[in-house]
Amino acid sequence: MGAVGFIGLGIMGHSMARNLMNAGHDVTVWNRTVSRADDLAEAGARLAGSPAEVARLNEIVMICVSDTPDVEAVVFGPNGVAEGIRSGALIIDHSTISPAATKEMARRINALDGSWLDAPISGGAEGAAKGTLSIMIGGDAADIERARQYLDAVGATITHVGTQGAGQLVKAVNQILVVVNQLGVSEALLLAEAGGLDLEATLAAVEGGAAGSWMLSNRGPQMIRRDWRPGFTIDLQQKDLRLVLEAADELGVPLPGTALVFQLYRALQNRDLGSEGNHALIKALEEMSGIRLGSHD
């Protein structure tokens, strides 16, 4: 087993660091809110005082933070990774950020004799906890093989999708599919509710056929129970959709469905619901229709 650094212990990163430890790796962690690392330290993780210290102690550093400015801060800010980077080091960024910014940050790390993999993840809090994330990676194949033992500890599907920046663009594709699918699940369950159908029986009837999807099977039951605990919050989903729409604008691609979901989530944020799970999208449709899921229970 090897030594690896991990920066960012949020809802996804904390579980990923834990899975690296469970796989027997020597893990050094850093998080802006230090208390998020307490249980990992008790389990044997080494606590670093800064991202620079993480980089000085480890040839391979994994990052999972919220947005493009956060990655820039932990890598190139004061006491950032770039200040402690070793020659030949490998930075693996699991955050979902701007493809254009990713290419520029990768260029800067390459100039410091380091390597960069953009390796955004999908699978929600459940996938992070179980170590079954889908990881889409941009960068050199040789660097992926260098990192394979660490990637295998956190993900079940690891796909090399192209050069640096390609991983982030594939994540944008992923997020389009996630939110448009969530809109479909929301509309379908709302129609079932309006028609007086048994929602659980309806879900069981359709999820095994052509209409089946991860979102339907994993979020549908939560929606029926009105359980809005997040696998991924509305606020984070909106951040990703902003990146998707920016990339689409740069490429001249119309995304009307994605843009609609962005506006529906914005309406929910205006109701202070941004900390709820992204499956709470249905609440925007409930507001428009006057129909409430579960009203026939």
283 is a catalytic site residue: no
Beta strand segments in the chain, E: 3-7, 26-30, 46-47, 60-63, 90-93, 115-118, 121-122, 133-138, 155-162
Query: E strands within 13-106?
Result: 26-30, 46-47, 60-63, 90-93
List residues bridging with 90 in a β-sheet: 60, 115
- The three-class DSSP label of residue 251 is helix
Tracing tokens 């040839």 back to the chain, one arrives at 59
From the list 103, 130, 171, 283, the catalytic residue is: 171
Give CA torsion, residues 259, 263, 265, 268, to 10 deg: -170
CA distances for 201 relative to 167, 211, 220, angstroms:
38, 15, 12
Euclidean distance between CA atoms 116 and 157, whole angstroms: 19
**Catalytic amino acids?**
171
